[in-house]
Amino acid sequence: MPHRLKGMVRSGELAAGTFLVEFLTPGIGHILAGAGCDFAFLDMEHSGFSTETVKAALRFLEAGGVPTVVRVPSRDAHDIARIADMGAEGVMVSLVGTAEVARDAVAALKYPPEGHRGVALQVAHDNYRSGPAATKLAAANERTTLFLMIETAEGVENVEAIAAVPGVDVLWLGHFDLSASLGIPGAFDHPRFRAATERICAAARAQGLGLGRLVTSMPEASQAWRDGFRLLAWGGDAWLLQAAVADGVTRLRRLADG
């Protein structure tokens, strides 16, 4: 299977995607591809999506040629490994506060000798193909891409050590949770939030890691670009649909108002 997500992370160029928290129609891969998305961020933390739903959705997205990172519902090793077995190119782990948590995530995602993920071959992650075991394990380790969310004050304090853990590919800013953890919920221009963001970005640059975050406006995206974020997820499915429909409905009501 291709390593498209890993290539995006390593390129240092813009990769634009979106956040999926509500709609996983069979056409979603082609819909996002038609919109020009480079990747999809599929959420299990807040969506309530089941593993069966995600397993199908990964194939829907693969059909459209859209590499996908899945935010797993917990930091447990079995959740990380299960999503990787389903074929997710990227796995995102939330609330990473220490290097120990980062090392545990790497170990859960990677096969020996890089980790201790249980071996399952000729399943979804390798497209059910046969082949030499050693070659397959090495290929899976190279393909899987680990995203760690830095979204607490603890994570910021330990971000240099987290970024230095071998096997980490991307630091993802959890902007709302981080602002809440810093005691300034939603105050993204606050000096404490800005200082924390700059520290996260510096840690990622020092280790050659990718940087990602969600953005919901062009001013926010422009700031993120200046900060060094190159993996940018534009809004989320439910909110984008609601905003588009609200705009259209508002225009229709203006017709009635003359």
Domain coordinates in residue numbering, the chain? 4-256
What's the CA gap between 188 and 238, in Å, rounded? 23
Task: Take residue 46 and report the two structure tokens written for it.
Answer: 């807040």
Cα separation, 169 vs 6, in Å, equals 8
pLDDT of residue 2: 53
Q: What is the per-residue pLDDT for 126?
A: 80
Name the 3-class secondary structure at 167.
coil
CB 150 within 8 A of CB 159: yes
- Residue pair 179/188 in contact (Cβ under 8 Å)? The answer is yes
CA distance 225 to 231: 9
Task: Show pLDDT as tens, one digit a residue, over the chain (258 residues).
Answer: 455 899 999 899 999 999 999 999 999 999 999 999 999 999 999 998 999 999 999 999 999 999 999 999 999 999 999 999 999 999 999 999 999 999 999 999 999 999 999 998 777 788 778 888 888 899 999 999 999 999 999 999 999 999 999 999 999 999 999 999 999 999 999 999 999 999 999 999 999 999 999 999 999 999 999 999 999 999 999 999 999 999 999 999 999 887
Residue 107: its H or E element: helix 99-109
| Pair 81, 56: CB distance under 8 Å | no
- The SS3 call for residue 256 is helix
DSSP-derived letter for residue 126 is G
DSSP secondary structure letters along 158-213: THHHHHTSTT--EEEE-HHHHHHHTT-TT-TTSHHHHHHHHHHHHHHHHHT-EEEE
Looking up tokens 């480079």, which residue turns up? 38
Residue 7 neighbours by CB under 8 Å, 6+ apart: none
Q: According to the model, what pLDDT value does residue 174 have?
A: 96
Query: What's the pLDDT score for residue 248?
Result: 96
Question: Residues 32, 60: contact at Cβ < 8 Å?
Answer: no
Residue length of the chain: 258
Per the CB < 8 A criterion, the answer to whether 42 and 57 are in contact is yes
Q: Please report the pLDDT score of residue 123 as a whole number.
A: 79
pTM over 0.75: yes
What amino acid positions are annotated as catalytic residues? Answer: 46
CATH of the structural domain 4-256, one choice from 3.90.1010.10, 3.20.20.60, 1.10.1270.20, 3.30.230.10: 3.20.20.60
Instruction: For residue 255, give Cα distances in angstroms to 110, 153, 195, 241, 258.
Output: 58, 50, 48, 22, 5
